[in-house]
Amino acid sequence: MNEPRKVVDLSKLDYDFPKYIKQTTGSNPFVCFTCRTCSSLCTSGKVNVLNIAKIVRQIALGLKEDVLGSKEIWTCATCMKCQEFCPQGVNPLDMIYFLQNKAVESGMPTIPIAYIEMVKSIVRIGLIQAPQEVISADFDEFDREELELPDLSMPDAEKIKQILLKTGFRHVIK
């Protein structure tokens, strides 16, 4: 499902923004010819709000605030299909990574709460969530032992925490 139609305010175009993205990511938004191959294959776009071809177009136009403030950029599943199949060699996923980093850096309040909770969980236990029991269609609950699965080897949470904190995640999860 796409966002409702929105009027583009030409006075807000930032012509340096696409050039900066091209320079920083090596991905060139100006060669996109809007074939929408990326959107038609996009894993997230099938079930979520993400319209990756629109994001690439918005970047090329210089709609900096729109893309940095967009909730869509947080729904990418990083499947890489857009990069694999773009006939023009545009790397939309690299652009998404760039936009997410810039949005965090600029303090834009678009990071979904679920994302923050996942990061907090990684800092705490090294996983995006604690291991869950499986619930069957009859609402019976099974743990790994009952399913005869081996014990999970837990990651070194303290090491992950130190790495995340060094990358500046503290201000994201505060």
Taking alpha carbons only, the member of 13, 24, 44 closest to residue 105 is: 24
Q: Which is closer to ligand SF4, CB of 29 or CB of 123? A: 29
- Residue 31 CA to residue 16 CA, distance in Å, equals 16
Please report how close the Cβ of residue 2 comes to ligand SF4 at its closest, in angstroms: 14
Phi, psi of 141, deg, nearest 5: -105, 140
- List CB contacts of 83: < 8 A, sequence separation 6 or more: 90, 91, 92, 93, 94
Q: Which stretches of 69-174 are assigned E, i.e. beta strand? A: 134-135, 141-142
| Distances, alpha carbon 71 to alpha carbons 2, 105, 125, in Å | 12, 16, 27
Taking alpha carbons only, the member of 5, 92, 104, 94 closest to residue 53 is: 92
Please report how close the Cβ of residue 70 comes to ligand SF4 at its closest, in angstroms: 12
Q: Which is closer to ligand SF4, CB of 72 or CB of 123? A: 72
Please report how close the Cβ of residue 46 comes to ligand SF4 at its closest, in angstroms: 9
Residue found under tokens 């776009």:
45
Q: Which is closer to ligand SF4, CB of 95 or CB of 123? A: 95
Q: Which is closer to ligand SF4, CB of 39 or CB of 122? A: 39
Please report how close the Cβ of residue 17 comes to ligand SF4 at its closest, in angstroms: 17
Q: Which is closer to ligand SF4, CB of 69 or CB of 126? A: 69
Task: Provide the binding-site residues for ligand SF4, judged by CB under 6 A.
Answer: 32-38, 41-45, 50, 52-53, 56, 76-82, 86-88, 90, 92-93, 96
Please report how close the Cβ of residue 89 comes to ligand SF4 at its closest, in angstroms: 8
